[in-house]
Amino acid sequence: MGLMSKLTKGAAAKKAISAAQKPENQRKIKSAISSLRGNKSGGTTGRGTGRV
């Protein structure tokens, strides 16, 4: 049973990687990541402010 699980996970990972290599999907992924970063941090991180 463990072997089938590993094979299934491997096939899913292979399909996801091949889909992520397409240029139109790369644009979607980049925009999704940038929007998540903006929402997650609220736009400011507090880093690099020069405070000690």
pLDDT score of 42? 53
| pLDDT-based confidence at residue 5 (cuts at 50, 70, 90) | very high
Q: What is the CB-side half-sphere exposure of residue 41 using CA atoms within 13 A?
A: 10
Tens of pLDDT, residues 15-51? 999 988 899 989 998 998 999 888 765 555 555 555 5
| pLDDT-based confidence at residue 10 (cuts at 50, 70, 90) | very high
pLDDT score of 52? 54
Residue 12 has pLDDT above 90, yes or no: yes
